[in-house]
Every structure is written in C-alpha cells, then in structure tokens.
Structure 1
C-alpha cells in the first residue's frame, strides 16, 4: 500500500496526501547555511564516520558528542544500525502499533522477531500491554513520539511503563523522535533521554527530515550510551561510512545559530495552521477528525472501509491518503474506517485537496 497508493496518485494526477513528504523546500535559513559552507573545499571530502563534530555537538542533548552520538543517513539508517547493534538471531523486539513501516523490516534484517503490541484505537494506550508481551527473549521495544500516524505524544503512563521495562527488565527503549520539534508553540518535547536514566538502555533516533522540511537531505542521528554507541558505529561504518558532509555542516550551522528555535517553530506553526484548516474542511464534509499535538498527519473517520475509500478517492476524487490499517501487522476492526492524511503541503495544495474531496463526497 505504501508503494501502490503514491504510484496511483502519480499516474492519475491525484494530490498526494499519502506520503509524509513536503511539496516545498526547506526554510531559507537552511539553504543559506548550505550555500555558505559549500564554498569550503574541505566539506566535500570524507569526515569522521561518526559524523561532523559540530553536528554531533548540536544534537547531543546533554550527552557526550564524542562517545554517544552517531550521525546517520536519515533516521532510517539510525534505526537499521541500532537493530543490527542490539539484536541477535531469535531476539524479540516489541513494536508498538500502529507503527511506522520501517521498524519491523529493520528488526527482521537484523535477525530479530517483531512482536506487535497493538493499540486498537486512535485514543488508546499501550501502558498496560507491554509487560504481558515480554518474554525471556525480549531485547528491545520501539516507540515513536510524537507518533506517526497518530500525531500524539506518549502519555505519562506510557513513559512510566517503558521506564519499568528498562529499569527492571533491562530492555532497551528505542525511541524514534523525528517529529520532536513539531509541537505547539511553548510545548516542551519529552523524550527517552528525559525518562530512561541508564544511557545503555535507551536510544534516541531523530533527523532533520520533518523539522526542517528536508526529507531528501537524509541527515539523522542516534544518541545512546557509550557501549551502545560503539556497536551502532561499528555497523554504521560499513553501511554509509558517513552521510553527505556538506549537508551535515549546513545543519550544524543552523542548529547552532540563535535563530534555530524560530526556524523550526515557523515550520511547526505552518503545519498547525494547515492542519487546523484542513480538519475544519473535513469536518464540514462530515468526515470526523481533530488536530493532534504534532499535526504532520491527520487521522479521519471516513465512515466506510478505509482501504476501499482510499482507492476510490485516488481514482475518482483526485486525492491520495492511506488507510490506518497499513500501520498494523494484522487487521484491527476498530480502525477499519480510519484514514491518515499528510498535511505537510502548501496551503494551496490542501485547499485544492479539500475542494476535490468536497466535490467527490
């Protein structure tokens, strides 16, 4: 479905709200940083495999940039390197569903066994489900906050359950925090580095893809304890060696500048504005939805089987979206009518999408 629906959209001229990819470029401050560093000959050559020191310092979040941060080719490579570093054949990894599509393949590629922990409603919690899913072979748990596709942040009881797994059972919490900067103005991101005290039992994965509208730059990172980091780097060394160096320098320059907070804040504010507008348009059509804490995506109840609805809309309505069911490894009746829209588009794009949906519905 992740391949088929976008391909159908391209073939039929549909507006692609199925993929979390922007239809506009990064903020001008990031492009200016790239232009500034590109004139330096040194940035076009190999750099340390662990990443440009300035970027490691910028994303260290109080950890050691020298021993606890690895820059990767996007969050996806960070996830794959982390799974390969942690899992041996037969090890189990809990995957909280609905889940981003890369988690299970990364686990399987490392020889691990994905064990789904399913939240069966868009408002449900996994706090009481984790302990029962654990076995003697459970090595790690993968979570996502803010959460794709639901858009919400993890609750206090969910973080407490994750801390219990780490502290009492020695299970590593791998937290994908790619959407960490896309919260409402004034909201503070709470992540795995805040909750899990033992650095060898936590891995934070993040990137600039969503926070800086630069999904094609493929600049991400993994933050973990020194022991875990040595293992992650040992894998990373033989995967990409180092991501694109000029892009690393540009990101580092922007993140170190006083304007960084304003830049990511403007990206977040624009997303919130567009999500609010689109949610209102959908509600006016009788499609139930609401804006989440991190509104990169909207989840809507379309009132009929979502897979059929998405096929019909891309072919007849000119708008592509994804059924929420594709983020589960097995059918979940409670989400059968739910659809995910990506609203990381220009205002004119979401307005045209709304007009097409209104005409079709």
Structure 2
C-alpha cells in the first residue's frame, strides 16, 4: 500500500498534525488488569524455529497428522499459515475473571480459523470482535469466523468510516480494495457497534481509542495513491480516519498498546493512549506499524527515536512494519524487540 507519487500541498494539509496539549478534556479511567495475553493468529510471517522465553510462547510445526502420501507414514506436519494480514486474540485477566476478544481477522476467509484450529484455540470462547480499520487485510477472515460461530450473535466494535470505499491508484495501475459491508456482517451474525470516540469494554479494562489525534510532525499518513470515494469523486485519503487501537493498563507496569496497521502513526497512537488514560509508562507495543516502502522509510528514524524515549519493555512489530523498520527497531532496542510470527503468544503479567 505504498507509492512514491508526490502529494500536493492540499494533500499535505489533510494529514497535518493537530495540536493536543495537556491531558484529555474527558480523561478515561482505564481499570488496571493483572494479565494480558496476545496470541498472533495471523501475521505476514511464520517462523517455526523461533525460540520462546518465560514471557513468549512460540508455535512450532505441530503434529505430523496431515495426510501426505509421499512420506513413509503417509502424513506430514504443516504448521501455521502466514499472509498479508493481521489478527490477534487478546485475553485480559482481572483477578479470576478472563475476557477474550478478537482484534482484526486477517486477509483470507479461511486463514484465521485454520490457524486457530492448529493452535487449539477455541473460537467459541470469544466475547467480542474489534476491527482496527476497514482495510480488507484485517477483515477477510470474518466470514470464516461467522461460519464457525454458527447462529451465535457476536458484538463487533468498528469505526463508522470502516465502510469507506478505497483504492490504490497510480499512473501504472488501479487496485480497488474490497469494501467492508455492514449489511453482510449483520447477515453473518455480527452485532455491529459503531464508535468514533473512545470506548471502554470489559468492565472498563479495555480501551478502544476511536479516532487518534495526529500530533507528530513526521507521521503524514498514506501517500497520494491511497484514495477514498466521496460519493462523486476519488480523493486522496492520507488519514484512514477509522484507524484505532486497543489499549490495556497492566497493573504497576503501564500501557499495552495493540495496533492493526498504525495508519494514524504508531507514535501518535501511543501519545493518544497516554493522554486519554493519564498513564505514562508504555509497557508493550505490538502489531502493525506501517513503515514499509519508499513513502514510509523516511519516517523510520524519527519513529525509532520516539519509541526509544517511551522505553517499552516489549516491542513486537509485525504485519506492515517492513524489514527495514524491523532491523532499525531491533538494533535500537535489542532487549525489548521481539520477532513477530503467526502463532506467537506474548504473556504480560502485572508486577
């Protein structure tokens, strides 16, 4: 989703930062939790040889139980899938009570449920779905999830602009992105809740940011090729206004922030979460940072510097972060950086 097409001054103005000094006008009391587990059900990469540690569980190849006649036993191990998409299972524990949410659903109709099955994840335990934004590589697995859930109604939090029709348009080609349909989601059994402002879930212990304030001077959003349909014309859509993140306050540790693509700018997102909650420390930052391609590579260095200042204990970039940014983040924060991979579970526990 990157392009080297130059933006006009009008395009730049659309993505210009807005000042947001001080604390939020309506600060949010985010109830602290005792444990957060983030299981990456789908990511752009899969590495079955990654080694876990006391806070990270890695998925290997799994049992050799898939039929394959070319082997002597007639079976082979298939491991997990990877695709250009993102999905994470978020389990939040307060005391003895656990709540399980799905954050995004990956690219393909079958990828999410396939990996869940191979990880022995019970999708029937889900209590809600959150979409980070309307791009198709974060919503493609919803059909497969609905088929697995059957007649059960599942609440889903989305931004009202998630239904925006979008395309990638360059002088060489045009790609019309699949557009999310509320009517279809209703028919599949999802109870859609539209929120543009911050909202609290799970008895006040999970924050969905809603629209994110753009306050940095280097996170300018999507390049000119990314366009939205405005009813009678296509227009540069730098902001992806429906972009939102999931935030949890890990007791005595700080914020855990999960992004889908981070189209609002990952530094903007962290600033926004801190401002909304009044919680200063950033304990963990996970998800897509969207720093890949020539339009975003100039943003890597200031992003890395800003994230160093936040000093998270864990940083696990995935999906659209890109290999150059991964290398830069790993070099700058070697003790915090963790490789992302389909099947990885990060277990974060309060002090």
Mark yes or no: TM-score above 0.5.
no
Structure with greater strand share of residues: 2
TM-score by length of 2: 0.32
Higher relative contact order (CA 8 A, sep 6+): 1
Structure with greater helix share of residues: 1
TM-score by length of 1: 0.31
